[in-house]
Amino acid sequence: MPNETGKKPMLETVATFSIDRLAFLDEQGRAQGPLPDFANEKAELVRLYEAMVLTRTFDAKAVALQRTGRLGTYASSLGQEAVAVGIGAAMHDDDVLVPSFREHGAQLLRGVTMTELFLYWGGDERGSDFSGPREDFPVCIPVASQVPHAVGVAMAMELRRQKRATVCVCGDGATSKGDFYEGINAAGIWKLPVVFIVDNNEWAISVPRSAQTAAETLAQKAVAAGMEGIQVDGNDVVAVRHAVAEAVTRARAGGGPMLIESQTYRLADHTTADDASRYRDDADVSKHWVGEPVARLRSFLVEQEHWNKKDEEQLLARCRDEVEAAAEQFLTVAPQEPESIFDHLFAELPEETAAQRRSLSDTGQSDE
């Protein structure tokens, strides 16, 4: 635009950026070019496939338990299994996972038991006392609040000079929250060992991604924080595992943070308290079943002669048995005592709070 003198100002480009998209398997499960080394190993591909099938079987049982009044509100990961499983498979044992609420597959791969997950979603906080990954964070329901937490964990690793990484997972809706921007900004300026994964399933409850942001990609939000961003096909477990593994390796080596946008689709309701048919068409959901992650990898395995009908039948039976056993164990766990709500508030309860605990305990005894 001309200035007061009628002359155009001298403009120069001071920054440019581009966002790459990574994918290895197309919707039919066909390889698109060379695969990473691990994807040429039958055992590793089968491990990823079995983990996704187990996650989906667990998911179906959790929904069934909720519908019959034996579990609380539950967030399904149907259609998003490749994201969580890819994350769990890529992380090192001593890394720290800071999840949102659909990362069941990652948690199971990292050693959280199905019984513990059932307990958590049943309203029992003992389910967050993981027997496996003791430093992994529990499920986080408040949207984006886990992002600053992950930055704090990564800062602790940096201060302790530990060669570890923090992996933080959030949804597309979280990228509209201030917590997200504050977190990635801090991680970028301090070059912390943290990987942010945006699980873009196209819906933040009833709000579509198109109404969340005008940004062409969510990955480009990394640019403002001074870190690299990449977009991956979130229904391609090979792509997710590869991208996360590279980002984690880089973070552990002191290369700083990275943001990965994983494009997928939420095939189920937001939670069991939601009815997605009120705000999206069945036809739109149906078309996203094409290329969903489980069928996609199964097609590739079959094409490579790594999988057959007998393998599938045995896997489904094994997953069903494991999930049913975990559900039965969960249903036999005695409820916590009411006064347990005080147990983890303070190292030493203030007298006023201690009196409340004694009162509640005395009430329970008088009722017996």
Which pLDDT belongs to residue 3? 65
Active site residues: 266, 270, 279
Which pLDDT belongs to residue 368? 45
Which pLDDT belongs to residue 1? 59
Q: Which residues in the chain land under pLDDT 50? A: 366-368
CATH of domain 20-25+39-336: 3.40.50.970
Q: Where are the domains of the chain?
A: 20-25+39-336, 338-368
CB count in 10 Å sphere of residue 190? 15
User: Model confidence over 116-163: pLDDT tens digits?
Assistant: 999 999 999 999 999 999 999 999 999 999 999 999 999 999 999 999
CB count in 10 Å sphere of residue 282? 9
